[in-house]
Amino acid sequence: MDKEKTIEEAGEYIKELLGSDTTGHDFFHSERVYKTSLKIAKSEGGDSFVIGLAAWLHDADDVKLFSESSDLEHARQFMTKHEVGSNIQERVCKIIHEISFKGTDSVKPSSLEGKIVQDADRLEAIGAIGIARAFAYGGKTGRKIYDPAEKPLLNMDEKTYRAHFDTSINHFYEKLLNLKDMMNTKTGKKLAESRHKFMENYLDEFFAEWNGTK
């Protein structure tokens, strides 16, 4: 198995699988997670092959996109087809299982590689890109932009979080503003700071315009 070629083909596979997604989980999201993961790994270390595979494949079976996909079917099929050894396959699958935000049931990844890819994925949920993705996902799934009558629900467990149908602005309070303090690595924390501030400024502007005070 040629590692470099396998990573390249993982990117091509994701382009085919998620190329036409419009929920914020498109090919370019996975590509940015891949690039940011490698950037974080430069200062944090870790096995770059495991990191690269997990980054490219982390959304290939996301329950938000593929409700019927059973136990990382796409990711496993891709790796088996490319003769990735079972030990690496298990390490990658563990990272993918641990990566998602699940409210108070969120998991701190057990491996350094998992910590890095989770940080890169979470950086995608905050800042300018995070704002764009939240409204894209919200619109696509029929959520309102904002409704003052609906209050955010804090500290949800996984089951409540998945079943909860909130406005996109509430999603900032329920998830996005919490991510900065949930970063695993020093590098990830640093990258999260300015994105977090940008989001806070954005919300200030949003409410000033909403309330007519600006």
Of the two residues 80 and 141, which places its CB atom closer to ligand ADP in the complex? 141
Rounded distance, CA 46 to CA 50, Å?
Answer: 8
Task: By CB under 5 A, name the one of 21, 26, 44, 59 that touches Ni ion.
Answer: 59
**Which residues lie closer than 8 Å to 5 by C-beta, 6 or more apart?**
none
Residue/partner pairs of 127-133 with CB below 8 Å, 24 or more apart: 127/194, 127/195, 127/196, 127/198, 127/199, 128/195, 128/198, 129/32, 130/176, 130/195, 130/199, 131/199, 131/202, 132/24, 133/24, 133/29
44 binds Ni ion (CB under 5 A): no
Task: By CB under 6 A, name the one of 60, 166, 183, 196 that touches ligand ADP.
Answer: 166
56 binds ligand ADP (CB under 6 A): no
Whole-number minimum distance, CB 105 to ligand ADP, in Å?
12
Q: How many residues bind Ni ion (CB under 5 A)?
A: 2
Task: By CB under 6 A, name the one of 143, 180, 195, 196 that touches ligand ADP.
Answer: 143
Q: What 8-state DSSP symbol labels residue 111?
A: S
Binds 180: which of ligand ADP, Ni ion, none (CB < 5-8 Å by kind)? none
Rounded distance, CA 55 to CA 114, Å?
Answer: 9
The residue range among 34-42, 74-82, 118-126, 145-153 that interacts with ligand ADP, by the rule CB under 6 A, is: 118-126
Rounded distance, CA 45 to CA 113, Å?
Answer: 8
Residue pair 184/109 in contact (Cβ under 8 Å)? The answer is yes
Rounded distance, CA 175 to CA 89, Å?
Answer: 30
Residues 8-37 within binding reach of ligand ADP (CB under 6 A): 24-25
Q: How many residues bind ligand ADP (CB under 6 A)?
A: 19
134 binds ligand ADP (CB under 6 A): yes
Amino acid, res. 91: R
Question: What residue ranges bind Ni ion (CB under 5 A)?
Answer: 59, 121
Question: What residue ranges bind ligand ADP (CB under 6 A)?
Answer: 24-25, 59, 62, 64, 100-101, 121, 124-125, 130, 133-134, 137-138, 143, 166, 168, 171
